[in-house]
Amino acid sequence: MDQNDFAFFTELLRRRSGLLLTQQKTHLVESRLAPVMRRFGFKDSAALMRELRHGHEALAAAVTEAMTTNDSAFFRDRRTFEEFRDIVLPELLINRAASKRLRIWCAACAAGQEPYSIAMMLDDGKLLAQGWTIDLLATDLNSQMIARAEEGVYSQFEVQRGLPIRRLVRNFTQEGSNWRISESLRRMVTFRTFNLLDSFGWLAEMDVVFCRNVLMYFDQKTRISVIDRVADIIAPDGALLVGPAESILGLTIAFAQTEHAPGLYYRAKPMSPQMRHAVG
Ligand SMILES: C[S@@+](CC[C@H](N)C(=O)[O-])C[C@H]1O[C@@H](n2cnc3c(N)ncnc32)[C@H](O)[C@@H]1O
């Protein structure tokens, strides 16, 4: 791919998804675009770029999806799930005892391993049987990932990554060499294709937001924009969980980090008018 095409493609991708490409990623681009080129019948990347320049919408959506990194695993970054179970959940169960309703959003769910891991933890607490309503929403830019997540079928390799054997036996049924998530866990999650660059206006107020291992692919401006908009839709006592390599310190004053719990943030307390006056 020549430099002009690479620059054009980098900008298209950034505008459509927030994803950043560096010059060193030329090989990655070519290998990821190869299946799209075959599908749409282009003989080389120059022909593909020409068509993209003409504003072919379905093609632009397909190349954007092809450039996403969808790697995930059940209970990935185990400590985050322990923080959710041991710190976030107990507090919310007290704070929401009257409404008995929890709203959780998994904002870049890939093929569903993350929301199903959350569903398993909620299921451990028998919350549904105790009359709780759980709204567990899982979204991703990549519609093929959402289709996979909705189906809930995983390979042996995928279930071996992070899923303890007792959970595998309890929550999945074997289908040939694959494993299908139980219907009760599948029904706990609502999946939807959604781009984090788009308006969050349709989202309800969330008690917990998992936004993990996606901010790191964005430029600084996009990270700030996503975090600030998460702050707008999260409950005043709501929690935000990001990936261990994705500190948001210094990007926003809307969230404050929790001591001894990397990746866990709460809404920063709004300043009182007196304090604001004293500060500035
Ligand atoms: C590495 S996976 C992370 C999956 C999961 N959160 C985890 O931590 O295992 C990153 C996901 O972010 C999604 N993604 C990338 N850009 C996005 C965007 N602008 N809006 C929504 N999702 C996006 C990708 O499609 C991909 O599935």
Say whether 187 sits in a helix, a strand or coil. helix
Report which ligand 1 atom has the smallest distance to the Cα of 211: 6
Inform me whether the pLDDT recorded for 270 exceeds 90: no
Inform me whether the pLDDT recorded for 259 exceeds 80: yes
Report which ligand 1 atom has the smallest distance to the Cα of 197: 19
Q: What is the 3-state secondary structure of 34-62?
A: HHHHHHHCCCCHHHHHHHHHCCCHHHHHH
Inform me whether the pLDDT recorded for 271 exceeds 60: no
Residue-wise pLDDT for 91-126, tens only, equals 999 999 999 999 999 999 999 999 999 999 999 989
Q: Which residues are within 8 A (CB) of 41 and not within 5 positions of it... i.e. 6 or more apart?
A: none
Q: Which band of pLDDT confidence, cut at 50, 70 and 90, is reported for residue 23?
A: confident
**Ligand 1 centroid distance, CA of 140 (Å):** 6
The predicted model gives 185-206 an average pLDDT of 97
Inform me whether the pLDDT recorded for 268 exceeds 60: yes
* Confidence (pLDDT) at 132: 96
**Ligand 1 centroid distance, CA of 70 (Å):** 6
* Confidence (pLDDT) at 280: 43
Q: Does the reported pTM lie above 0.75?
A: yes
- Cα 11 from Cα 16, distance rounded (Å): 9
Say whether 155 sits in a helix, a strand or coil. strand
On whether the 78-267 domain is CATH 3.40.50.2000, my answer is: no
* Confidence (pLDDT) at 162: 86
The predicted model gives 174-191 an average pLDDT of 97
The segment(s) of the chain belonging to CATH 3.40.50.150 are 78-267
Mean pLDDT score across all residues of the chain: 93
* Confidence (pLDDT) at 26: 81
* Confidence (pLDDT) at 277: 56
Q: Name the residue at shortest CA distance from atom 17 of ligand 1.
A: 141
**Ligand 1 centroid distance, CA of 272 (Å):** 36
Q: Name the residue at shortest CA distance from atom 26 of ligand 1.
A: 70
**Ligand 1 centroid distance, CA of 98 (Å):** 34
Residue-wise pLDDT for 28-60, tens only, equals 899 999 999 999 999 999 999 999 999 889 999
Q: Could you please report the per-residue DSSP string of 7-32?
A: HHHHHHHHHHH-B---GGGHHHHHHH
- Cα 145 from Cα 111, distance rounded (Å): 5
Q: Name the residue at shortest CA distance from atom 15 of ligand 1.
A: 68
Report which ligand 1 atom has the smallest distance to the Cα of 76: 9
Asked if residue 188 has its Cβ within 6 Å of ligand 1, the reply is no
Inform me whether the pLDDT recorded for 71 exceeds 50: yes
**Ligand 1 centroid distance, CA of 200 (Å):** 16
**Ligand 1 centroid distance, CA of 69 (Å):** 7
Inform me whether the pLDDT recorded for 138 exceeds 70: yes
Report which ligand 1 atom has the smallest distance to the Cα of 196: 20
Asked if residue 76 has its Cβ within 6 Å of ligand 1, the reply is yes
The predicted model gives 12-37 an average pLDDT of 90
Report which ligand 1 atom has the smallest distance to the Cα of 113: 9
* Confidence (pLDDT) at 24: 73
* Confidence (pLDDT) at 93: 95
- Cα 14 from Cα 195, distance rounded (Å): 12
